[in-house]
Amino acid sequence: MLSDTSETLKQLFKDRNKRSHNAFKKAQNILPGGSTREIIFHQPYPLYIRKGKGCWIQDIDGHRILDFLNNYTSLILGHAHPKIVEAVKSQIINGTSFSAPTEHEQILGTAINERIPSIESIRFTNSGSEATSLSILAAKAFTGNKKIAKFEGAHHGTNENTMVSTNPSLKDAGPKEKPNSVPDGPHIQPNILENTVILPFNNQRTCEKLLYQNREELAAIIVEPVLGSAGIIPPKEGFMQFLGEITEKNNILLIFDEVVTGFRISRGGAQEKYRVKPDLTALGKNIGAGFPLGAFGGRKDIMAQFEPTRENRIHHSGSLNANPVSLKAGLTLLEELTNENYRKLSEQTSNVVRGLEKIFSEQRIDAKITQSGSLFVVHFTSEKVIDYRSAMREDTVRKFNFFLGMLLNGVMIAPRGLGCISTPMSNRDIDIFIQKVVESTIYLKER
């Protein structure tokens, strides 16, 4: 349910974005929802983008927009980074894919292993969804077990094994001590629900009980170490270590979904930050610097199941897997992500978070900001956000009005309040962001 303010904002948006509206109408004739990606749809319609450079983008109506979303956290170096453009060009003129491997695959694999040592052996994919899907497949084959445990509110991409309880209503979610397996849609079959154990994030006691009850049948726990789509919710002190210990003790594999956190929240991702060594890791988003690239990897004995010469192997092919253009972009990205860059990102994010807290406190607007590395989320609630359910209890009307108000003021964040910093941002860009937040609070006063 939206408010009068929401309706006013939507009308202002429509008045300002006529070309995007036209593009949306035309696109709807051929594409359900007007594009190929559910997450980028929002009311009244998304902006269609003409170009981007650094941390600024331009839509087809000609507005310049400060990009605090970076293709949903994927572009830590921003748009059209000169080194990425150069690297990609140098590959494109030499061919874009072959019926044979290139050396880039081994070079990037080794560079990833140097940063994330638990990835002893790796394979590349075209997306994060494939990376999580193949990690689960590998865990099931390795253990011979059919069940997977995942966290309520966690999104692991478009693969049916994890499309359970990603965004359940609080009414359907079931008791706290035993969350229901709620299908993400009509395509999820009952056998998937039966084989998915839903865990509450940051609740050690309940996780312990549910994992113990299902230990004989569980292949793996898949976890986003920082619960992303539910609102960048960091783990409580010791929670990741607990998952490491309980999985090891019960012969359950631990899969870290680092599609968002990998190379984002620190040089070695969440596993470096929380000092836990998962059995398998899925990567995506940032790793391709804007090009389609994902990866999964981990223990050598698990990954050896993909050896083509093995009689009882897991088949894994893909015509564009490990395409050299994406690999070149990934390699250049890792070279560019220096410790100095991480230090600057972290300092700027702290300034943003402090700025947001100050504004909302001065204006007496109930809000909590969650943060990890260069990622942050604004939650309109007075409650501490520690898991999916606490995030779901926030004021969604305010959230929408904040998002659309910011966009009208020339700043892009996600409708769910997600924002992130990229390396081309200057302190001046951070000041502009803070100023636009101040201007947008007017939309948070009235309902």
Question: Can you give the binding site for ligand PLP, defined by CB under 6 A?
Answer: 127-129, 132, 155-157, 224, 228-229, 257, 259-260, 284, 294
CB of 5 to ligand PLP, least distance (A): 29
Toward ligand PLP, which CB reaches closer, 70 or 132?
132
CB of 94 to ligand PLP, least distance (A): 26
Toward ligand PLP, which CB reaches closer, 17 or 135?
135
CB of 264 to ligand PLP, least distance (A): 11
CB of 162 to ligand PLP, least distance (A): 8
Q: Which two tokens stand for residue 294?
A: 């994902």
Toward ligand PLP, which CB reaches closer, 228 or 269?
228
CB of 247 to ligand PLP, least distance (A): 19
Toward ligand PLP, which CB reaches closer, 73 or 118?
73
CB of 143 to ligand PLP, least distance (A): 21
**Residue whose CB is nearest to ligand PLP in the complex, by number:** 128
Toward ligand PLP, which CB reaches closer, 284 or 419?
284
Toward ligand PLP, which CB reaches closer, 157 or 355?
157
Q: Which two tokens stand for residue 49?
A: 């983008």
